[in-house]
Structure 1
Amino acid sequence: MSEPESEVGGVPVAALKRHAELSELVEEARWNYYVRDQPTVSDAQFDEWFRELLALEEAHPTLQTPDSPTQKVGAPVSGDFAKVPHLNRMESLDNAFDEADMAAWMTRVERLADRAPGPYLCELKIDGLAIALVYRDGKLERGATRGDGRFGDDVTANVRTIEGVPHRLKGEGVPSLVEVRGEVYLPVKGFEQLNEQLAEQGKQPFANPRNAAAGTLRQKDARITAQRPLRMLVHGIGLWEGSEVPRAQSEVYVRLREFGLPVSDLFKVVPDLTAVNEFVEHYRVHRHDPPYEIDGVVVKVDDFRTQRELGSTSRVPRWASAFKYPP
């Protein structure tokens, strides 16, 4: 009687089985979170599975294929709306969970850039729904969810109802074509009021503000969306054509605010890791001060030229990292 195989293609059978199990768990969790807006596991549990999956693929590189969850962004479009392409791919972010992770990311960035690439821009990571808005000749043409990063759901009609999102950009130097990225969210007070209304109507309340924002933005009836206090904050650009492109992330925020777009004031440009850690620690203590829920801090290389030099992997930009707070 032959012994059972302990390896297949140089990979232990136990690792193959665990990789398949984790892949299924991660894909199912993503579908429930991004498409159904009904998460079935905590963010902490998802992050634990994802980190284990990354570790398995690092130990056994043949496990990493284009179909692996580690190579994908978000989830497929829902099918409830028209599927539209993004002008440039919308990516995810690598996560850091402690100061050592953040230091390791910064070391990688410095090695790849072959210099100290600071300063860095630190901003709050809003727990909402990623969105891309396209403005052509200053007019809002389209709003789309992130979807799988290449295609998203066309939610333009609903986006037009969000207070603070301009239908036309104002000021001088407006690009002929610009795609802005941001986060749609429900303020904490608005979330509480919405759940009270749903309870009074005998309807199921939302589990948290993120689910409420996602469910509201994906309403097929824009009149329902208009009745709920959705908000948006812009945190980047995907494309900028027809006018001089700013040289840094922080400069973009100044310009976008001049155009009338909603940009947070709660960001800071800092010189080094020590200052990054101070910003992270400040908002760990003051996490509930903003009017919306946050689950961490995003750190970006501020200079656009350095961002372009660093580029991206198949899933994330190398020039940014998200420090995740514990639940």
Structure 2
Amino acid sequence: MKSGPELKERLVAQALSEGFVACRICRPWDVPHVPERLQAFLEAVYHGQMEWMAERTHWRGNPAALWPEAKSVIMLAESYSPEHDPTEILQHPQLGAISVYAQNKDYHDLVKKRLKRLARWLIAEAGGEVKVFVDTAPVPEKALGQAAGLGWQGKHTNLVSRELGNWVFLGSVFTTLDLPEDKAERDHCGSCRACLDVCPTDAFPAPYQLDARRCISYLTIEHKGPVDEELRGKLGNHIYGCDDCLAACPWNKFAVAASDIRYAAREDLMAPNLSDLAALDDTAFRAKFSGSPIKRIGRDRFVRNVLYAIGNSGVPDLLPSAMALTDDPDPTVADAARWAVQQLT
């Protein structure tokens, strides 16, 4: 077996050649603060309808329990930094704002394939066993990312890096190999409140705390059924996710360009017309969003979001689009359509 430092150096080089922008290593047990923070989050019911967050907490709070044989966690960052200003579309209420990460292919598929290739390389070079994770398992990626030195969890709770900004996806490779670990990163937010102050729905009860029940990303993606009327007007033209707090971070001046062209925004998803999206039936929705993370929420929830945006638009020309859906078979869509009509008349 190669020496630890030499193997690690070659591992980092291989990770960069695969398209990752950074590779750091920590131990599975390097995040002892996670269980307490997770418990406080759940007790405050900040997770809303995401019941899965309250399940398998012994794993979600303790990566060492997820796979006790693992000795090292290889944390990878992959950039999806946008080439355009993602907040500019907020000035065009007749268009729908889709989160940057969802404007093309599903990142889960792209990142996981890179992780698997890197894991296979590591096994061929040094043996051992591996498991790869990207955002779909009970793994606290952001906390592990900070422990490994990729960045720190900012006041908006996302990972921020002085070298990369915060437009990054995270992936992890757990391994039984004992690899040299990196130094944890410390907080560099200082007195900045840009991400907190820009939030349209006041989703941050305090710095470093997120109440998902008020977060636009949660409301437009995870929340099932009607959104509270008190929050509908604050959604603006966000129809899938929200990048406001990410875009506000001043560390993005160091953001690294995305290396994969499949993260570049599809032209039809960068500034789509709300009227076109409201007209989608289930078949057309599935065809349009094939291979996109948007497909996961289904036509009804997506069109619900579009109707809230239409109601917030103040554009009378969009009234027919809302009126056409007031008797939609889905009661939540019909409710959103009637609300939109009320806002525009």
TM above 0.5: no
Higher strand share: 1
Query: So what's the TM-score if we normalise by structure 2?
Result: 0.21
Higher helix share: 2
Query: So what's the TM-score if we normalise by structure 1?
Result: 0.22
